[in-house]
Structure 1
Amino acid sequence: GFNDTLDAIAKVMNKYEKTYLSVQGHTDSTGKDSFNMNLSRERAQSVKNYLVNQQIMAERVSTMGYGETRPIATNDSANG
């Protein structure tokens, strides 16, 4: 699952101590823009918090929330 992926990332980052990570949060277009921007920031921050709990120094993980400003698919349908 998702935690398994984060555990694998933490393992690599612990092995290669000069590795840095940028975590980007995104949302779909459902809801208000301001809510989605905050939600995307919180999503990215939760990944960082998990990695910090796995002994990764916080300075090695940067976060950015993009809300619904950078969609990876169309928002024309639920599948998008």
Structure 2
Amino acid sequence: MWLLMNDLGLKARLAFSKFMCDEEGDVNIVSIVVLIGIAVLLALFFKDQIHDLLDSLFKTISGNATKAVEKGE
């Protein structure tokens, strides 16, 4: 039993050290940060257009909701 526990412990340590030394995820993190930065810059650049679009969408939604409630009564 002791040998089995020792073997599992060594395998766990080896797997953990491989996980810590593996650098495959670093490129993905950098690319995600760059994409988020681009999205923020685009949102800042088109802030007024996005605001106008959302205003018109919410006005349309609230107008249609009001009409639907009035027809339902």
Normalised by the size of structure 2, how large is the TM-score? Answer: 0.32
Structure number having the greater helix percentage? 2
Normalised by the size of structure 1, how large is the TM-score? Answer: 0.29
Structure number having the greater strand percentage? 1
Which structure is richer in relative contact order (CA contacts within 8 A, separation 6 or more)?
1
